[in-house]
């Protein structure tokens, strides 16, 4: 197939010149006004110079965001964008036949019900398109929690049974989770990458419609130069106040930013790690991650592999596209602010690792920009903090040593005939308006027609939702500023960040203890800083009050935001309604029903809960058999029999509690041990077994005679 460029080189350059000129214009004008405000009494002191430099740096991402939103607004208003990738699909009369595509789902100690029910929804959706034979599904597990591992195996067998998916849905458990998620994907590529032309990568909470998957594969076929096509995921199925707020913001503002982003990046887009299709041959050849320089761990890889893989794909000459407007691509989101902060901690570390590549001559300029913007999204927090600390110092200096008056009539003030104070207020208002502008533009886009505002709850409710979302985002911003500043300092100090599963739903929010521990520092900083600001100058206190309010109220705000009950109440009032809620796509509706059934499951008895997976695999003949069958396929190594005999005897006479997770995993990895343990537990008289096993045997048959899996349909 001949490759036809969607945009010529000259068109791309024209777009970028226009885009960045507008951003440059905004930055320079704002910097001029700021310099004018600071330049009083014949010059600037070092504090003022620092403030001006920081202001310019910090205003850059703001202006880029505003211009991106404006561009997106114009494109969506006109409803015509020649660089929209989907145009090619819509204009093609004969769609290509699809090669078999691998859909891979890397998981690590995730909520098994959520993962497998999500996969079931995707599988069913693909089945409905009539293209099921063109997709193979792979669950790639790195779980190191014995319970999760056993649950995953059983859920896989059960799901395959239920949807007749054997030979189409595959399960692989790595023995060693080398290089985390990127290592898991590379392992897949090395084993099976040669069989497939494309691979779609999902996240543990991703849901993609069959239509979306088919279109992605068709787009790849129509664009032989495309290396990666990213389908923009929309957050869905959130229930907490915070989650629904984020979901609403993503659904409403997302399309605007995506259209604007596509305007300047075009075929040099980015990869966000999941809900994307990848051309496997160039990925295998060019996108193996290089080792991280200067790492304490030898052969450590980049944590946020996606940006690097996009850069490597571009370096190899392939295009990376954002398929905005495609639809059918969903993801979960953190249910609380604290969960988002935990996620950001990992992302912050990952993004800072990219600083090694920003100056690499082998990285293309636009990828360099993506990497730099990723770093800046976290670095801006400590810079804002520093900016405000210096601002406080400057006010203190001015209040103690009034060398010049803020209202002296110079520069722009004299030209506009307003005092320096009024000029500062004007700049403040302009900046606040610019921050609100993308939200306003998104709102205008949906308000102009009844059919576009209805999915968001109608015109009035959509407007009220935007106002509430904006107020809460103002409260959250200083909280995140402190979190991100801590993370950045941690990264600079070389603190390691662990790899843990994300909480993607669950209980009704965080409790007071958790909130106090997480936000106690924020509150204290807010109170002390507020008192200091008041002492320096009450007017300065009022200027800074939005920051102080956010910090001081961080505990109650975070508690309220984490509540599922608050999210449900807002839903009853038809606030924060998204199109996925008002008119749920089949995949999400099915998933919701399945998860509701899973939630009704009675959890195992408390004493058995901790080792329930281990109990199942030892006691249940079918769980044991499936586990052994899966192990024997790749377990060829010699085993240290003395070590395993000792472990086996301990587990029988003292129960699984006495084994560490590592020891349990060692036993679980050994098919001989698992077959032997199953026999012994049933054969031995109760006096030779640990009391835990006697209770487990009694309870197992009383509670459930069938293997319990994460699927209950």
Site string for another protein, 311-330 (x = CB under 8 A): -x------------------
Name the one range near another protein by CB under 8 A: 114-122, 183-191, 212-220, 635-643: 183-191
**Residue 489, burial from CB neighbour count under 10 angstroms (0-12, 13-18, 19+):** exposed
**Residue nearer to another protein on the CB measure, 11 or 360:** 360
**Which parts of 110-149 interact with another protein (CB under 8 A)?**
136, 138
**At its nearest, how many Å lie between another protein and the CB of residue 6?**
28
**Residue nearer to another protein on the CB measure, 289 or 376:** 289
683 binds another protein (CB under 8 A): yes
**CB contact set of 237 (below 8 Å; sequence gap of 6+):** 330, 332, 505, 580, 588, 591, 592
Please say whether the beta carbons of 68 and 441 come within 8 A.
no
**At its nearest, how many Å lie between another protein and the CB of residue 75?**
35
**CB-facing half-sphere around the CA of 234: CA atoms within 13 A:** 27
Q: What is the greatest pairwise CA distance in the chain?
A: 97
Q: Which of 19, 39, 171, 456 binds another protein (CB under 8 A)?
A: 171
Q: Which alpha helices (H) appear in 448-511, and where do they start and end?
A: 450-453, 459-492
291 binds another protein (CB under 8 A): yes
Residue 276 bridge partners (DSSP): 201, 230
**At its nearest, how many Å lie between another protein and the CB of residue 634?**
9
**Helix, coil or strand: residue 235:** strand
Rg (alpha carbons) of the chain, rounded to whole number: 28
**Residue nearer to another protein on the CB measure, 193 or 243:** 193
**Which parts of 391-450 interact with another protein (CB under 8 A)?**
393, 397
Name the one range near another protein by CB under 8 A: 233-241, 354-362, 531-539, 639-647: 354-362
For residues 442 and 444, give the distance between their C-alpha atoms in angstroms, rounded to a whole number.
5
**Residue nearer to another protein on the CB measure, 572 or 706:** 706
Q: End-to-end alpha-carbon separation of the chain, Å?
A: 45
**Residue nearer to another protein on the CB measure, 158 or 587:** 158
Task: Take residue 191 and report the two structure tokens written for it.
Answer: 């084993």
Please say whether the beta carbons of 551 and 478 come within 8 A.
yes
Site string for another protein, 643-682 (x = CB under 8 A): ----------------------------x---x---x--x
**Residue 327 — φ and ψ, nearest 5°?**
80, 165
Name the one range near another protein by CB under 8 A: 278-286, 374-382, 427-435, 593-601: 278-286
Name the one range near another protein by CB under 8 A: 223-231, 343-351, 426-434, 629-637: 629-637
Please say whether the beta carbons of 668 and 149 come within 8 A.
yes
Q: Which of 5, 450, 535, 632 binds another protein (CB under 8 A)?
A: 632
356 binds another protein (CB under 8 A): yes
**CB contact set of 481 (below 8 Å; sequence gap of 6+):** 381, 384, 385, 547
Q: Which of 178, 630, 666, 695 binds another protein (CB under 8 A)?
A: 630
Name the one range near another protein by CB under 8 A: 90-98, 341-349, 414-422, 623-631: 623-631
For residues 407 and 399, give the distance between their C-alpha atoms in angstroms, rounded to a whole number.
14
Contacts with another protein by CB under 8 A: the residue count is: 66
**Residue nearer to another protein on the CB measure, 586 or 684:** 684
**Residue nearer to another protein on the CB measure, 357 or 475:** 357
Site string for another protein, 473-512 (x = CB under 8 A): ----------------------------------------
For helices 241-265 and 554-562, give the axis angle rounded to 10 degrees: 90
**Residue 364, burial from CB neighbour count under 10 angstroms (0-12, 13-18, 19+):** middle
**Residue nearer to another protein on the CB measure, 281 or 434:** 281
621 binds another protein (CB under 8 A): yes
**Residue 278 — φ and ψ, nearest 5°?**
-130, 135
* 56 C-beta neighbours (distance < 10 Å), count: 15
Residue with tokens 């079931």: 120
Applying CB under 8 A, the residues found at the interface with another protein are 45-47, 136, 138, 157, 160-161, 166-167, 170-172, 186, 189-195, 284-286, 288-291, 293-294, 296, 312, 355-362, 393, 397, 619-622, 624-626, 628-630, 632-633, 671, 675, 679, 682-685, 697, 700-701, 705-706
């Amino acid at each position: 197939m001949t490759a036809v460029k969607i945009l010529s080189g000259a068109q791309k350059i024209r777009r970028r010149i226009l885009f960045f000129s507008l951003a440059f214009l905004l930055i320079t004008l704002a910097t001029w006004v700021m310099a004018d405000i600071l330049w009083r009494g014949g010059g600037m002191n070092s504090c003022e110079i620092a403030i001006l430099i920081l202001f310019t740096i910090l205003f850059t991402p703001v202006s880029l965001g505003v211009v991106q939103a404006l561009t997106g607004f114009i494109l969506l208003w006109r409803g015509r964008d020649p660089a929209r990738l989907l145009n090619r699909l819509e204009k093609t009369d004969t769609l290509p036949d699809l090669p078999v595509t691998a859909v891979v789902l890397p998981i690590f100690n995730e909520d098994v019900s959520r993962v497998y029910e999500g996969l079931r929804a995707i599988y069913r959706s693909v089945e409905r398109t009539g293209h099921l034979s063109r997709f193979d599904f792979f669950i790639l597990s790195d779980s190191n929690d014995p319970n999760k591992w056993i649950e995953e195996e059983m859920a896989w067998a059960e799901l395959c049974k239920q949807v007749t998916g054997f030979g189409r849905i595959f399960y692989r458990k790595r023995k060693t989770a080398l290089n985390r998620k990127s290592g898991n994907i590379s392992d897949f590529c090395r084993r099976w990458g040669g069989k497939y032309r494309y691979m779609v990568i999902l996240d543990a909470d991703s849901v993609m419609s069959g239509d979306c998957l088919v279109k992605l594969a068709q787009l790849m076929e129509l664009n032989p130069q495309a290396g990666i096509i990213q389908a923009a995921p929309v957050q869905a199925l959130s229930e907490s106040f915070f989650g629904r707020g984020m979901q609403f913001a993503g659904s409403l503002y997302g399309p605007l930013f995506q259209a604007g982003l596509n305007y300047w990046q075009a075929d040099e887009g980015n990869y966000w790690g999941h809900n994307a299709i990848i051309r496997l041959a160039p990925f295998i050849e060019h996108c193996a991650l290089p080792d991280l320089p200067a790492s304490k761990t030898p052969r450590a890889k980049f944590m946020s592999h996606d940006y690097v893989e996009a850069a490597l794909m571009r370096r190899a000459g392939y295009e990376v596209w954002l398929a905005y407007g495609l639809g059918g691509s969903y993801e979960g989101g953190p249910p609380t602010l604290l969960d988002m902060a935990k996620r950001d901690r990992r992302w912050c570390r990952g993004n800072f690792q990219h600083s090694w590549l920003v100056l690499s001559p082998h990285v293309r300029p636009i990828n360099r920009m993506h990497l730099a913007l990723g770093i800046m999204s976290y670095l801006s927090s400590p810079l804002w903090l520093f900016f405000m600390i210096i601002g406080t110092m400057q006010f203190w200096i001015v209040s103690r040593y009034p060398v010049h008056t803020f209202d002296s009539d110079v520069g722009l003030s004299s030209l506009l005939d307003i005092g320096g104070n009024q000029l500062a207020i004007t700049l403040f208002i302009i900046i606040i308006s610019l921050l609100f502008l993308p939200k306003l533009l998104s709102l205008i886009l949906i308000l102009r027609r009844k059919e576009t505002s209805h999915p968001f709850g109608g015109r009035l409710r959509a407007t009220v939702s935007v106002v509430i979302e904006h107020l809460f985002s103002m409260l959250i911003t200083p909280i995140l500023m402190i979190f991100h500043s801590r993370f950045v300092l941690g990264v600079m100090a070389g603190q390691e960040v662990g790899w843990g599963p994300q909480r993607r739903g669950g209980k009704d929010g965080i409790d007071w203890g958790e909130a106090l521990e997480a936000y106690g520092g924020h509150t204290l900083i807010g109170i002390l800083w507020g008192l200091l600001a008041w002492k320096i100058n009450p007017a300065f206190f009022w200027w800074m009050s939005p920051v102080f309010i956010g910090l001081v109220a961080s505990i109650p705000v975070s508690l309220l935001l984490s509540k599922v009950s608050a999210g449900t109440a807002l839903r009853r009032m038809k606030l924060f309604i998204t199109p996925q809620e008002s008119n749920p796509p089949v995949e999400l509706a099915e998933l919701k029903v399945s998860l509701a059934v899973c939630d009704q499951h009675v959890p195992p008895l408390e004493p058995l809960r901790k080792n329930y997976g281990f109990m199942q695999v030892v006691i249940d003949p079918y769980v044991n058999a499936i586990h052994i069958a899966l192990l024997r396929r790749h377990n060829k190594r010699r085993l240290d029999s003395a070590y395993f005999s000792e472990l086996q005897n301990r587990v029988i006479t003292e129960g699984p509690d006495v084994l560490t997770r590592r020891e349990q995993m060692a036993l679980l990895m050994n098919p001989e041990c698992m077959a032997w343990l199953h026999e012994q537990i049933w054969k031995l008289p109760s006096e030779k077994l640990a009391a835990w096993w006697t209770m487990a045997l009694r309870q197992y048959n009383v509670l459930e005679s069938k293997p319990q899996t994460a699927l209950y349909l």
